[in-house]
Structure 1
Amino acid sequence: MVSEQEWVKERQLFAGVAPSADQAAAEPWTGPLAHEFAKVAHLLLDSPTVAGVLDRVVGAVKALVPEADFVSITLRTKEGRYTTPVRTDELADRLDELQYTFDEGPCVHATRTSGEGIVDVPDVSAGPWPRWASEAAALGVGSVFAVGLVPADDPPRLGALNLYSRQSHALDKVDRDLSIVLASHATVALAATTAMTSAEFEHAQLRAALESRDVIGQAKGILMQRRGLSAEGAFDLLRRTSQDLNIKLAKVAELFVNSRHDI
């Protein structure tokens, strides 16, 4: 168990505050943050895949910010499509996907925000995005904290690092400097792995995420044509069916598309 004194020392280090003479004499200046970032840096050199490195970044966030019940990373492709390649919980997938569909929400907004790119939503039910906030609150989410990846001064960014909590105001004390450092690690991971292979973004979980988006779009189009629904109405029907049957939204869409000739 990490003591409060260790955390204070680590935060002093990140803030550029030197340890006292007694502290320096007592032990080498290392601690939980240093060890966690060392693990991330090692994986940056060792892993050939984006997913592997980003998974380590998400794990580090979960370890260093215990107030976050689940964590995800949003990526934005050059074509403007959003995906969630890594997450700690399937509910984060659902929350991210709703933001991509509605084109609103903290992680989407963080990719479009210059400067620090931080989006803090202490109380989701009172958030500025009514459609997404209503869905998120219904799914039991109380607060969100997101920070955009680089480039900082020229949005849209590469993506965002997203922290979710089931309680409102649970993320009020998240260290902003720490969150920016963690998001920077994710950015370095993307840059390093992209340098190895430009095709990596189409691999593994990223490809599956894009395929899920495509099949949902097909199902929405069929519903809009056959039932005269709006795009939002078609998505709402798919979402309610997913909840009623307790089946993932992408699977419901796939089943609907595959059986369209029988309906």
Structure 2
Amino acid sequence: MDQEAAAERALLASVDGSDVPGPVAAEFLALAASLMDASTVRGVLVRVVEAARAVVPGADLVSVTLRAAGGFHTPVETDPLATRLDEIQYRLDNGPCVDATRKAGLGLTFCSDLAASTRFGPFGPAAADLGVHSVLAIGLFPDGDGPRMGALNIYSRQVAGLDELDRDLALVLAAHASTALAATMAATSAELEAAQLRQALESRDVIGQAKGILMERRKIGADEAFGVLRSASQALNVKLAQVAKTLVDRRTEV
């Protein structure tokens, strides 16, 4: 049985057989409801790390890694130590949270004994020195061969502190997070495009008004009026739309 099916089984096991969900299922229901209310990427991530800390039994610290143009960063965490652990991996360009953004399939990266592991180079011993001995990281949106936009990171202070159930629950959490992030980013992108379209239409309208004023005052054609505006824009090093708006706003003074 695959990881997602196992995760669903784990969730069903938290229900006591009645119509009332168990505590884990209730947390996921609450998470799903809260994600519907989140309107920003940060809002989604805060809800996800809080849910991970609450429902994953072995989770002592939780954070989210996000990929940006300049590298990786940690926008949310449940403890500053989680960010410190993440940042060690960013500097090394090696570690579970970095690996999970690049790994194909589920993007699942796991280590039960960081002090004894050589898989991530210096990161394992460094994490153990800071009192963290187990880690689980799962890639976030999109699925496939990567690279992904980030990872959900779960740390335990205990050797073998994260087990199969923890991994299954984290997979379901990551799936929730990925879906919500995709929807939020799509909505944000649509809003940005709408704002840019409005701005373009407003700019075109004000340029048209300014051209009309010049045509009337100077008795010139449309092309010549546009040339006047463009020359003023270049001479003043100001956007053409702003030159046009100034002319329209101060039409009685010119």
Flag whether TM exceeds 0.5 (same fold).
yes
1: distance between equivalents of 2:8 and 2:24?
9
2: distance between equivalents of 1:18 and 1:173?
15
Change (3 A) 1:64 1:159: same
1: distance between equivalents of 2:49 and 2:11?
27
Question: 83, 86, 89: which one pairs with 2:73?
Answer: 83
Shift of 1:198: 3.9
2: distance between equivalents of 1:186 and 1:154?
18
The answer to whether 1:120 aligns with 2:114 is no
Give RMSD over aligned pairs. 2.7
Question: 146, 164, 167: which one pairs with 1:155?
Answer: 146
Change (3 A) 1:191 1:12: closer
Q: How does 1:2-151 map to 2 (within 5 A)?
A: 14-15=8-9, 27-77=18-68, 79=69, 81-127=71-117, 128-151=119-142
Larger radius of gyration: 2
The TM-score, its normalising length taken from structure 2, stands at: 0.65
Q: Percent identity?
A: 52
The TM-score, its normalising length taken from structure 1, stands at: 0.63
Shift of 1:16: 9.3
Deviates more, 1:165-174 or 1:154-163: 165-174
- Residues 138 and 152 of structure 2 are in contact (CA less than 8 Å); yes or no, is this contact kept in structure 1? yes
SS of structure 1 residue aligned to 2:137: strand
Unaligned runs of 5+ in 1: 1-10, 201-263
SS of structure 1 residue aligned to 2:122: helix
Query: How big is each residue's C-alpha offset from its partner over 1:90-119, in whole Å with a ceiling of 9 and x where there is no partner?
Result: 000100011111100001001111112111
- Residues 133 and 160 of structure 2 are in contact (CA less than 8 Å); yes or no, is this contact kept in structure 1? yes
2: distance between equivalents of 1:93 and 1:104?
15
Q: How many residue pairs are counted as aligned between the two chains?
A: 184
Unaligned runs of 5+ in 2: 192-254
Shift of 1:29: 5.0
- Residues 55 and 169 of structure 2 are in contact (CA less than 8 Å); yes or no, is this contact kept in structure 1? no
